[in-house]
């Protein structure tokens, strides 16, 4: 297994170009199987998770061409040969469950391995299933699999108890081919939901309200092929924004939608960073003012993203004053705290809150990347830690960040990848 060796660096500077969004491209790839015609996805990031989704769609019967040099993925699904997402793929990538809605809509049946627990919490799929049931599907569970079956999906009203991103996407993808009108309330409002709705509408779907708390879908008989460029990755954007701040650097971040990273902008500004929005990108400067603490509470969009919590926490260990972070989206997303404390941080967990003492002089240590964003947080901490930080299990990081090391190196960081 590969690991990263991260050396302490000075202020990072230069320009970095953000890749297409991981969390937008995965549901869009799944949605492409809703038609037998060819769909072209542009600006697709080159990532392990994207590769897993290519394999999954291939196993279902799609012809998938991934041109990674040009960041284009072409998917054509004339026939579905397997109505199933097997355990080997679901255990590698939980987002595999996003094929359930499209499979059910196109073939009347979907069988998916239950994703099970995961490092950042229990992550059940009850809301996805509740939506399918409301549309008329029968749900059966057994032997680690869940199956949804319906002769015909019929539009219905669905209320989500929590604005789950995956459930909103899966139900939306099932409802586009259902007969009649579906209204989903208390849905997730994330930009990735809007991107998926835009893609589906280009395929001929009739979806209104994506980006608000209620989505209305008028079912159509058939969808057709289309071409779509995915939005820039707002979590990658946020990670490089924090990289500028934690290293007291000055980075121009290109291919950014500033609206998508509003909470990160607001919090970095509260800490004293300077953020300027220009025609050529967003400049983030941590080299102008002394940086100070702030408090954070993660929330569904447009609140502060849970996917930025660990990276921001790494930064807060280096500023003046103490901060409180409250994680409300996942019940167990503090796995990085033990690792940061091994590097000299002083972070205490009290229930859902983490109390972070600032002004810590971090030291390089051997640490484990427990999940994707936790891994990114350790890299950021490593940039400020005396000596070498050795991060193992970096496959998590490579699941979701495109050209991660190359991008950091181009800004002046010293990060090496080594096979164990």
Is the alpha carbon torsion for 290, 295, 297, 302 positive or negative? negative
Whichever of 84 and 192 has its CB closer to ligand UD1, that residue is 192
3-state secondary structure of 212: strand
Burial of 328 (0-12, 13-18, 19+ CB in 10 A): middle
Under rule CB under 6 A, residue 121 binds ligand UD1: yes
What is the pattern of x (binds ligand UD1, CB under 6 A) and - over residues 15-34?
--------x--x--------
Under rule CB under 6 A, residue 399 binds ligand UD1: no
Whichever of 162 and 180 has its CB closer to ligand UD1, that residue is 162
Instruction: Check: CB of residue 258 under 8 Å from CB of residue 265.
Output: yes
Beta bridge partners of 16: 253
Under rule CB under 6 A, residue 237 binds ligand UD1: no
Residues binding ligand UD1: what is the number (CB under 6 A)? 22
* Ramachandran bin of 35, using left for φ above 0, alpha for ψ from -120 to 50, beta for the remaining angles: beta
Under rule CB under 6 A, residue 124 binds ligand UD1: yes
Beta bridge partners of 66: 73
Under rule CB under 6 A, residue 374 binds ligand UD1: no
Under rule CB under 6 A, residue 12 binds ligand UD1: no
List 40, 306, 369, 370, residue binding ligand UD1 (CB under 6 A): 306
Whichever of 82 and 122 has its CB closer to ligand UD1, that residue is 122
Under rule CB under 6 A, residue 166 binds ligand UD1: yes
Under rule CB under 6 A, residue 199 binds ligand UD1: no
Catalytic residue among 39, 54, 118, 271: 118
CA nearest neighbour of 244 among 394, 417, 380 = 380
Task: For 366, list phi and psi in degrees, rounded to 5.
Answer: -85, 125
Footprint on residues 317-346 left by ligand UD1 (CB under 6 A): 329-330
Largest CA distance in the chain: 63
Under rule CB under 6 A, residue 85 binds ligand UD1: no
- Span from 56-64, 158-166, 194-202, 345-353 in contact with ligand UD1 (CB under 6 A): 158-166
Instruction: Check: CB of residue 197 under 8 Å from CB of residue 175.
Output: no
List 43, 147, 236, 307, residue binding ligand UD1 (CB under 6 A): 307
* Helical (H) or strand (E) element with 59: helix 48-60
Residue 163 to residues 30, 115, 205, 215, 410: CA-CA distances in angstroms? 20, 19, 22, 12, 38
Structure tokens at 173: 């993808």
What is the pattern of x (binds ligand UD1, CB under 6 A) and - over residues 248-287?
----------------------------------------
- Which residue has its beta carbon closest to ligand UD1? 166
Whichever of 11 and 121 has its CB closer to ligand UD1, that residue is 121
Residue 72 to residues 10, 20, 247: CA-CA distances in angstroms? 36, 11, 34
**C-beta of 126: minimal distance to ligand UD1 in Å?**
5
Whichever of 122 and 418 has its CB closer to ligand UD1, that residue is 122
List 63, 78, 162, 222, residue binding ligand UD1 (CB under 6 A): 162
Under rule CB under 6 A, residue 349 binds ligand UD1: no
Radius of gyration of the chain, Cα coordinates, nearest whole angstrom: 21
- What are the strands, taking DSSP E only, across 245-335? 250-254, 274-278, 281-285, 296-297, 323-326
CA nearest neighbour of 383 among 413, 361, 420 = 413
Structure tokens at 200: 């589906």
Residue 54 among the catalytic residues: no
**C-beta of 95: minimal distance to ligand UD1 in Å?**
4
Structure tokens at 165: 């991103």
Under the rule (CB under 6 A), what is the footprint of ligand UD1? Answer: 23, 26, 95, 121-128, 162, 164-167, 188, 192, 306-307, 329-330
Tell me which residues are annotated as active site: 118
């Amino acid at each position: 297994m590969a690991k990263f060796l991260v050396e302490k660096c000075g202020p990072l500077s230069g320009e970095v170009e953000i890749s297409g969004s991981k969390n937008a491209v995965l549901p869009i790839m799944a949605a492409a199987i809703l038609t037998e015609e060819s769909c072209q996805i542009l600006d697709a990031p080159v990532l392990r998770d994207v590769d897993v989704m290519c394999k999954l769609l291939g196993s279902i019967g799609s012809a998938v061409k991934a041109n990674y040099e040009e960041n284009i993925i072409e998917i054509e699904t004339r026939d579905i040969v397997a109505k199933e997402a097997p355990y080997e793929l679901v255990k590698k990538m939980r987002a595999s469950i996003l094929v359930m809605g499209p499979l059910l809509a196109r073939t009347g049946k979907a069988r998916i391995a239950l994703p099970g627990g995961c490092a950042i919490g229990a992550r059940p799929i009850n809301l996805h299933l509740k939506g399918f049931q409301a549309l008329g599907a029968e749900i059966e569970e057994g032997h680690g699999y869940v199956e949804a079956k319906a002769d015909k999906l019929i539009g219905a009203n669905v209320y989500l108890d929590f604005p789950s991103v995956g459930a909103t996407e899966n139900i939306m993808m099932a409802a586009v081919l259902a007969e009649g009108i579906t209204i989903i309330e208390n849905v997730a409002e994330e930009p990735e939901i809007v991107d998926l709705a835009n893609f589906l509408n280009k395929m001929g779907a009739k979806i209104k309200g994506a980006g608000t708390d209620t989505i209305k879908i008028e079912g159509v008989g058939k969808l057709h092929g289309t071409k779509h460029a995915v939005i820039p990755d707002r979590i990658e954007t946020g990670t490089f924004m924090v990289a500028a701040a934690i290293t007291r650097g000055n980075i121009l971040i290109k291919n950014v939608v500033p609206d998508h990273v509003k909470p990160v902008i607001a919090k970095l500004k509260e800490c004293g960073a300077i953020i300027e929005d220009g025609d050529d990108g967003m400049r983030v400067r941590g080299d102008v003012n002394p940086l100070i603490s702030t408090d954070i509470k993660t929330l569904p969009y447009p609140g502060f993203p849970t996917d930025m919590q660990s990276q921001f926490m790494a930064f807060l260990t280096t500023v003046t004053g103490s901060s409180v972070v409250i994680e409300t989206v996942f019940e167990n997303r503090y796995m990085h705290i033990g690792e940061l404390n091994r590097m000299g941080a002083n972070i205490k967990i009290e229930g859902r809150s983490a109390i972070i003492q600032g002004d810590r002089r971090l030291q390089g240590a051997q640490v484990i990347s427990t999940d994707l964003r936790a891994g990114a947080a350790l890299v950021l901490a490593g940039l400020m830690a005396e000596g070498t930080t050795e991060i193992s299990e970096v496959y998590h990081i490579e699941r979701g960040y495109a050209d991660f090391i190359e991008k950091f190196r181009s800004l002046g960081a010293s990060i090496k990848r080594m096979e164990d």
